[in-house]
Amino acid sequence: MMKRPVRFAALVLAISTATVSAAAVFVMKKEAERDAFAIRELNRKIAAEQQRISELRAEWGALDNPQRLQALVDRHADVLRLKPIEGKQIATVRDVAAAIRENRKGGEE
Protein backbone atom coordinates (compact mmCIF):
# COMPACT_ATOMS: atom_id res chain seq x y z
CA MET A 1 0.00 0.00 0.00
CA MET A 2 2.98 2.29 0.41
CA LYS A 3 3.72 1.94 -3.25
CA ARG A 4 1.29 4.69 -4.32
CA PRO A 5 2.85 7.56 -2.28
CA VAL A 6 6.32 6.53 -3.44
CA ARG A 7 5.19 6.39 -7.03
CA PHE A 8 3.44 9.72 -6.69
CA ALA A 9 6.53 11.32 -5.13
CA ALA A 10 8.72 9.87 -7.89
CA LEU A 11 6.30 11.18 -10.53
CA VAL A 12 6.23 14.65 -8.97
CA LEU A 13 10.03 14.62 -8.72
CA ALA A 14 10.36 13.55 -12.37
CA ILE A 15 7.92 16.19 -13.58
CA SER A 16 9.61 18.87 -11.47
CA THR A 17 13.02 17.86 -12.77
CA ALA A 18 11.78 17.90 -16.36
CA THR A 19 10.16 21.32 -15.87
CA VAL A 20 13.30 22.82 -14.32
CA SER A 21 15.44 21.27 -17.06
CA ALA A 22 13.16 22.64 -19.78
CA ALA A 23 13.23 26.10 -18.19
CA ALA A 24 17.05 25.97 -17.95
CA VAL A 25 17.33 24.93 -21.61
CA PHE A 26 14.96 27.75 -22.61
CA VAL A 27 17.01 30.32 -20.68
CA MET A 28 20.27 29.00 -22.18
CA LYS A 29 18.74 29.17 -25.67
CA LYS A 30 17.69 32.79 -25.17
CA GLU A 31 21.15 33.69 -23.84
CA ALA A 32 22.77 31.96 -26.82
CA GLU A 33 20.52 33.88 -29.22
CA ARG A 34 21.39 37.15 -27.49
CA ASP A 35 25.11 36.33 -27.63
CA ALA A 36 24.85 35.33 -31.30
CA PHE A 37 23.16 38.65 -32.07
CA ALA A 38 25.89 40.54 -30.20
CA ILE A 39 28.58 38.62 -32.11
CA ARG A 40 26.89 39.39 -35.44
CA GLU A 41 26.69 43.06 -34.50
CA LEU A 42 30.38 43.15 -33.51
CA ASN A 43 31.37 41.40 -36.74
CA ARG A 44 29.34 43.95 -38.70
CA LYS A 45 31.08 46.81 -36.90
CA ILE A 46 34.50 45.21 -37.46
CA ALA A 47 33.78 44.83 -41.18
CA ALA A 48 32.67 48.47 -41.38
CA GLU A 49 35.85 49.61 -39.59
CA GLN A 50 38.01 47.48 -41.89
CA GLN A 51 36.27 49.04 -44.90
CA ARG A 52 36.87 52.52 -43.48
CA ILE A 53 40.55 51.72 -42.85
CA SER A 54 40.86 50.50 -46.43
CA GLU A 55 39.27 53.72 -47.71
CA LEU A 56 41.55 55.86 -45.55
CA ARG A 57 44.65 53.98 -46.75
CA ALA A 58 43.61 54.56 -50.36
CA GLU A 59 42.98 58.24 -49.64
CA TRP A 60 46.35 58.53 -47.88
CA GLY A 61 48.04 56.90 -50.87
CA ALA A 62 46.48 59.49 -53.17
CA LEU A 63 47.31 62.42 -50.87
CA ASP A 64 50.87 61.23 -50.27
CA ASN A 65 51.64 60.84 -53.98
CA PRO A 66 55.00 62.59 -54.63
CA GLN A 67 53.81 63.98 -57.97
CA ARG A 68 50.76 65.54 -56.31
CA LEU A 69 52.89 66.99 -53.50
CA GLN A 70 55.39 68.45 -55.98
CA ALA A 71 52.54 70.06 -57.93
CA LEU A 72 51.28 71.66 -54.70
CA VAL A 73 54.77 72.90 -53.84
CA ASP A 74 55.17 74.36 -57.33
CA ARG A 75 51.73 76.01 -57.23
CA HIS A 76 52.33 77.59 -53.81
CA ALA A 77 56.08 78.25 -54.10
CA ASP A 78 55.63 81.99 -53.51
CA VAL A 79 53.96 81.38 -50.15
CA LEU A 80 55.94 78.35 -49.00
CA ARG A 81 59.39 79.53 -50.16
CA LEU A 82 60.76 76.01 -49.77
CA LYS A 83 64.35 75.20 -50.61
CA PRO A 84 66.11 71.86 -51.05
CA ILE A 85 67.62 70.49 -47.86
CA GLU A 86 71.34 70.95 -47.39
CA GLY A 87 73.70 68.50 -45.71
CA LYS A 88 74.53 70.95 -42.93
CA GLN A 89 70.87 70.94 -41.85
CA ILE A 90 71.04 67.28 -40.85
CA ALA A 91 72.01 66.78 -37.21
CA THR A 92 72.42 63.85 -34.87
CA VAL A 93 70.52 63.41 -31.63
CA ARG A 94 73.69 64.36 -29.79
CA ASP A 95 73.90 67.64 -31.76
CA VAL A 96 70.29 68.47 -30.94
CA ALA A 97 70.78 67.71 -27.24
CA ALA A 98 73.90 69.91 -27.15
CA ALA A 99 72.03 72.75 -28.84
CA ILE A 100 69.22 72.48 -26.28
CA ARG A 101 71.72 72.56 -23.39
CA GLU A 102 73.46 75.55 -24.96
CA ASN A 103 70.13 77.31 -25.44
CA ARG A 104 69.19 76.73 -21.78
CA LYS A 105 72.49 78.09 -20.57
CA GLY A 106 71.98 81.23 -22.63
CA GLY A 107 68.56 81.79 -21.07
CA GLU A 108 69.87 81.57 -17.50
CA GLU A 109 72.27 84.48 -17.77
Choose among 73, 91, 90: nearest CA to 82: 73
Structural domain including 31 reads: 3-108
Domain count, the chain: 1
pLDDT of residue 2: 57
Closest CA to 75 of 63, 86, 67, 85: 67
Query: pLDDT tens-digit profile of 43-86?
Result: 999 999 999 999 999 999 999 999 999 999 999 999 999 888 88
- Amino acid letter, 87: G
User: What does the pLDDT look like over 87-103, one tens digit per residue?
Assistant: 888 999 999 999 999 88
Sequence letter at residue 51: Q
Amino acid at 86: E
Q: pTM score, two decimals? A: 0.53
